[in-house]
Structure 1
Amino acid sequence: MALEYRPWREGDDQELLQIWGDPEGSQNAWYRQTLEPSNDGGVQLDGSRRNWKRCIVATDQGIPVAAGVVMEQSLHSARLTAYVEVAKDHRRQGVGATLLTMLRHEAEQAPSGVRELTTKVDQGTSGAAFAEALGWSVIQASRLIQVEPASLSLPRFPKREDQADEDAGADLVQDLATGSVELTDVVGRWYESVHRDWSPTGPLSPGMVQSYFLADATGAQGAIVLRAEPESAFGGSVAPSRKGRIRAFAVSYGPHPAAAPSNDPPADVLLGWEAGLSAEDAAAAVRDLVALVAYQHPVVLEVDSSMAALTGLVDPLIAAGKARQLGASTLIVAG
């Protein structure tokens, strides 16, 4: 076998997809979409920004059989993202390792100065086995958890003297526009906090938070927030004059694509909490908000191991048969 290695060319994707066949998992499917001609990044003619990227193809007698990509990231910029895929009949022959070595060499030219690599693999796939063989370490595990309806009892909210019974909690549970400055702030600080120890983002600008999580282009359809008790600007003896701060939020993106077809498809929900809450308060806020959003309909939550308030809630639900994992876990590895 005499392989040749060259930069990616237009049309390589069509040939490779025929040889590779169906992706092994969701991460393979996503990374295949990143394979394209190399670019130097920076501001484009239309004013948009592109991340620096290098893409290499391995050919056997002129036919593409493997490819790899290394690229800078915007949100998690402390590491470069890398991906390698090799046709099944060319595996275990050093092709993947050679591609990775070449990608590391290309990474020396990344304008950010970042050199460490990371990637995501579906647990139990050949990609996970390859990463393990390379000695890459798992820095995080992520699961999609479907919570079934009415798995948790509804929270009981206090009622003010001037409120009817049906209005109890009206000051605490509210719909909020996804363009809200208040929501944007709490989502950004929460995301920073749950990634700080393993894939730091640094401070996220409101524009970045909107672009990645809340803008119309993300599919965000609406948000519900759980607030603390309304506050008084003049002390406890005076009626509250301002809203309580957000304790937890849930952003819905419509039916989750990973769920099985159903007459009642689960909603894809991003659920987080105020980063400044204590562990106990965060857990309580998350429990109450999950109970509310999953009371009548199922929801799917992405749960990273670093999200203690969520893992502490969903793991007992899974054990009790009131929640279940969809698909394999995603492992984030670095090396």
Structure 2
Amino acid sequence: MTISYRPWQEGDEVAVYAALGDPDTPQSALDRPLLGPAATDPWRRCLVAVEDGAVLGAGAVSEARLHPTRLWLYVEVAADHRRRGVGTELVRRLRQEGSPSGVTALRSRYTGDATAAAGFAASLAMTPIQQSMIVRIRAGALPEPVFGPAGPVLEDLATGSVELTKLVAAYYDAVHASWDPAEMTLGRAQDLLLAPQTGAHGAVVLRDRAGELGGKVLAFAVSYPPPAAEDAAPAGDTELLVGYDTTLANSRARAAVRQLLAMTAARYPVQIEVDEVMTPVAGVVDALVREEQAEVVTETTLVATEGS
């Protein structure tokens, strides 16, 4: 039988998802929605591999407004049709599509136990650019700090506040600058991380002294509670976006993150995602994992090709 490759068409959402089955890794669940019809803003192209009327797999490339130096790539082939060159041919054809920006470098990601995906990425000359992990921190894993009258001070901030939005945008740009440059505007920080539709519920900041006294923010945390189950009980752990002032010395930033996590995880377990480049956060989390006060839920490798 001859394998043909065609653009995504009406009805493929059902056919492709039926052929691929349930996502077999957390990253597949997050990235599979990239498969879909062609789009212009942001630019996206998707191809579907078909043999004798049956879908074998699909792949897509997309520009990313937030990280414009690389195209996102996602390819998935049905389990019983792998190792036939289908994924490689999908990528070859997608590379010929040509994005309006002229960007040709690709980025993708896979979880630590996805050995097939790791091998496929290597065959495409994609190399690791970052390691990331999601970690569950036990309730009370860190002793709660006792703050004196002179500070530090823990304060609530509204997720829609200009101060928090500026903090999040600056932090995001800073921690991505060395490996995947970002263009995080205040509007994007709200739309992607802080607006109600993101699930953001509240935020706290740790200042060196009270805000009314001109206190400087040392670290911050934004919470994303899980949706309630049918019995109104939370269906999982609260997720936290944890950041810090990237101009601080590493030791001071780490101490601030540790104090903030001690307060936010005092009563209930939380989950946080941390990239290895976030050295102060990674240092605190790694120590908790070694002490068995936290556990790694999943590990992700981000990979990329060279190019313009």
TM range (shorter): over 0.9
1:173 to 154, 159, 162: 154
Q: Is the 8 A contact 2:227 2:235 kept in 1?
A: no
Aligned to 2:71: 80
Q: How does 1:138-177 map to 2 (within 5 A)?
A: 138-159=128-149, 172-177=153-158
Structure possessing the higher radius of gyration over alpha carbons:
1
Q: Which 4+ runs in 1 deviate beyond 6 A?
A: none
1:296 aligns with 2:277: no
The separation in 1 between residues aligned to 2:130 and 2:47, in whole angstroms, is: 27
Deviation at 1:111, TM superposition (A): 1.3
Deviation at 1:242, TM superposition (A): 2.8
Q: Residue deviations 1:155-189, cap 9 Å, x none? A: 121125xxxxxxxx5x7111110111111111111
The separation in 1 between residues aligned to 2:227 and 2:124, in whole angstroms, is: 33
The separation in 1 between residues aligned to 2:287 and 2:104, in whole angstroms, is: 40
The separation in 1 between residues aligned to 2:156 and 2:197, in whole angstroms, is: 20
Amino acid in the other structure paired with 2:302:
I
Deviation at 1:264, TM superposition (A): 8.7
Aligned to 1:334: 304
Q: Residue deviations 1:129-156, cap 9 Å, x none? A: 3113333101111111111111111112
The separation in 2 between residues aligned to 1:173 and 1:37, in whole angstroms, is: 46
1:269 aligns with 2:243: no
Aligned to 2:199: 219
Give unmatched runs, 5+ long, in structure 1: 42-49, 161-168, 232-240
CA 1:18–1:142 in 2, change beyond 3 Å: closer, same or farther? same
The separation in 2 between residues aligned to 1:264 and 1:219, in whole angstroms, is: 14
1:119 aligns with 2:89: no
Amino acid in the other structure paired with 1:37:
P
The separation in 1 between residues aligned to 2:235 and 2:45, in whole angstroms, is: 43
Q: How does 1:205-284 map to 2 (within 5 A)?
A: 205-230=185-210, 242-255=213-226, 265-284=236-255
Aligned to 1:165: none
Q: Secondary structure at the match of 2:104?
A: coil
Q: Residue deviations 1:298-321, cap 9 Å, x none? A: 110101111101111011111111
Q: Is the 8 A contact 1:10 1:36 kept in 2?
A: no
Q: Residue deviations 1:286-308, cap 9 Å, x none? A: 01000100111111010111110
Q: Percent identity?
A: 41
Deviation at 1:120, TM superposition (A): 1.4
CA 1:263–1:10 in 2, change beyond 3 Å: closer, same or farther? closer
Deviation at 1:256, TM superposition (A): 8.1
Q: Secondary structure at the match of 1:6?
A: strand
CA 1:256–1:197 in 2, change beyond 3 Å: closer, same or farther? farther
* Mean Cα deviation higher: 4-13 or 121-130: 121-130
Deviation at 1:31, TM superposition (A): 2.2
The separation in 2 between residues aligned to 1:72 and 1:119, in whole angstroms, is: 12
1:128 aligns with 2:118: yes
Deviation at 1:230, TM superposition (A): 4.2
1:314 aligns with 2:304: no
TM norm structure 1: 0.85
TM norm structure 2: 0.92
Q: Residue deviations 1:231-257, cap 9 Å, x none? A: 8xxxxxxxxx63301111110010289
Q: Is the 8 A contact 1:256 1:300 kept in 2?
A: no
Q: Is the 8 A contact 2:7 2:48 kept in 1?
A: yes
Q: CA RMSD in A?
A: 1.9
The separation in 1 between residues aligned to 2:123 and 2:15, in whole angstroms, is: 28
